[in-house]
Amino acid sequence: MTKAAKLIRVTYLGLLILALIAPMLGLYPVFVMKLLCFALFACAFNLLLGFTGLLSFGHAAFFGSAAYVTGWLIKSQHFTPELGLLAGALASGLIGLVVGAVAIRRQGIYFAMITLAIAQMVYFVCLQVPFTGGEDGLQGVPRGALFGLISLESDTAMYYLVVAIFVASFLAITRIVSSPFGQVLKMIRENEPRAISLGYQVDRYKLLAFVLSAALAGLAGSLKTLVMGFATLSDVHWSMSGEVILMTLLGGVGTFFGPAFGAGIVIALQNMLADKVGSWVTVIIGVIFVLCVLAFRKGIVGELQAYLRRRQR
């Protein structure tokens, strides 16, 4: 094992331990849970942008519609939480299948515009259909009991479920990316015409990556509903799509841990600033966007990795 790989492993282990003892350190559990939900969302998004090279500007559609599906099923249909989460992820995976099938007909910049436009359509649908509660959203979604046995009403129980789901999803993404399938995705990112000429059915790979990313983004949205107890229009709004791009960009596109790190920074920033500076939060987010694109396109984790690599030589 190389030195770098060892370092990474130690870091992950440290983070896992930190996550497990966080409630005992006096960190506000709901905040950490929210952070982990968005970290999962960003990691799911990165599966598409970082490892397949497709910039979706409409991931809020998956995050938000899954949030609604889970909220509605649990609140009105009395689903148990695990079924609610599963249904949310499945629903967003299905929406991803439809959206992806349309969007992959174009590449690059058009792909971004198409996903943005379709997500806006999803937003308007969510605004109008009866079961989302329109402008008010779905409020007071109960957490219920896991498998009908373990009550999630206590923040501690809920917290460990969130950590478990995040870790499992993170490992799944790592596994997907390092699988032969993931290698093909990277090839598509680097040189699509070449992948086609080598006989790969590029569209199928892209579509599957899109569906996986959408389903995981949906899982994040469902989990958020369960944690916070509500799903609102801001979950499906285009600004949410923008936020997840920012988290990924800030942390490091195409790195494993970068998006989660970026999500942590953005959520913490919003948490600290929200009640102090009002609309300036939007301005600050805009400024970070501009700085990221101009000054450090690799993101924080990406730059760190590049630095470590330089030092090793």
Positions touching other proteins (CB under 8 A) are 55, 57, 102, 105-106, 108-110, 112-114, 116-118, 120-121, 124-125, 128, 238, 242, 245, 249, 278-290, 292-294, 297
How far apart, in whole angstroms, are the C-alpha atoms of residue 155 and residue 139?
A: 18
Closest among 67, 58, 69 to 119, alpha carbons compared: 58
Determine contact, residues 253/46, Cβ cutoff 8 Å: yes
Q: Would you say 12 or 296 has its CB closer to other proteins?
A: 296
Supply the DSSP symbol for 138: B
Tell me how far, at minimum, the Cβ of 38 lies from other proteins, in Å. 18
Q: Would you say 117 or 146 has its CB closer to other proteins?
A: 117
Is the sign of the CA dihedral 259, 260, 266, 270 positive or negative? positive
Strands 145-146, 150-151: pairing is: antiparallel
Q: Would you say 121 or 308 has its CB closer to other proteins?
A: 121
Determine contact, residues 285/246, Cβ cutoff 8 Å: yes
Give kind and range of the element (H or E) at residue 150: strand 150-151
Q: Would you say 53 or 137 has its CB closer to other proteins?
A: 53
Q: Would you say 277 or 308 has its CB closer to other proteins?
A: 277
Length of the chain: 313
Determine contact, residues 53/209, Cβ cutoff 8 Å: no
Helices and strands in the chain, H and E counts = 13, 2
How far apart, in whole angstroms, are the C-alpha atoms of residue 122 and residue 94?
A: 13
Tell me how far, at minimum, the Cβ of 1 lies from other proteins, in Å. 34
Q: Would you say 29 or 242 has its CB closer to other proteins?
A: 242
